[in-house]
Every structure is written in structure tokens, then in C-alpha cells.
Amino acid sequence: MREIKFRAWHPGEKKMRYGVGTDGYGGIVLDTEYMGLKPLKGEAILMQWTGLKDKQGKEIYEGDIVYYDYDYGGFKHWEVKWAYDNWAMVRGERYTGDMNASDDPEYNNWESSEVIGNIYENPELLKGIQ
């Protein structure tokens, strides 16, 4: 069973926070490790770790933008999101396939991808770039 981890984008602070979770009542909290749980004030957008890492060993989270050197419809920058009952690299209606580990190399594309940003801090990476 894989570890479940979250991060949160805080629009007010314009900052990505790691080591976050929920308080069980719909609130998002920072796990400060040594100081206990601290509420993350204001609106925050929670994103889950996929359980996967890119070719550099960086954890891949929902909302990440990955570079995948495969010409699928002209696009090489993809958003990571939950689609078709699985973690996937998607761009609009285009879909490269699932990101779960498989014996079929066509479905192991996450191993050759590289996290280059995320949709909140780097939205320009998905605009008009192939």
C-alpha cells in the first residue's frame, strides 16, 4: 500500500505548502512536525501525491506539469490529474494514458517524464507551448 501525502496551494499567499492534511472537519492543516497541527488559514487547494516519481526522482503530485518527450498530438507539456479512474497526463481532451506502473512500456510514461512546474505557479507552461 502506498503512502498518502498531500500538498496545498494557498492563493492568498501564492505559495505551495507541503506536509498538509485535513482536520476531519473540512479544514486543511499544516503538519508542523514539532509544533503539532496548525490550521492553514483562508482558502487552499489540496492536491494528492500520485505515489509516482519522475525520472529525476521528484514526487509527482496532482496539478503538476510534466514534460514528456513524446509527440502526442504536438504536445509535450501535460497536466497531472485524476482521469479515467487513474492518474493521467492530460491536456484538454488529449490523454496520454494512465500513469500506474505496468509491464507494458507504453503505460510506464511517468518514468520518462520530468516535473517542470505546476498549474498554479507556472500556468504559462500549458499555454501555446508544445
Q: What is the pLDDT of residues 37-74, one digit of tens each?
A: 566 666 788 899 988 899 999 999 999 999 887 665 56
pLDDT tens column, 16-27 = 988 887 777 766
Percent of the chain at pLDDT exceeding 70: 63
Asked if pLDDT for residue 96 goes beyond 50, the answer is yes
Which are the contacts of 123, defined by CB distance < 8 A and separation ≥ 6? none
Kindly provide the residue ranges of all beta strands, DSSP E only, lying in the chain, ordered along the sequence: 6-10, 15-22, 28-31, 37-39, 45-53, 59-61, 64-72, 75-83, 86-91, 94-98, 113-118
Query: What percent of the chain is predicted at pLDDT more than 90?
Result: 18
The domain locations on the chain are: 6-126
Residue 35: pLDDT above 50? no
Domain 6-126 classification at class level: mainly beta
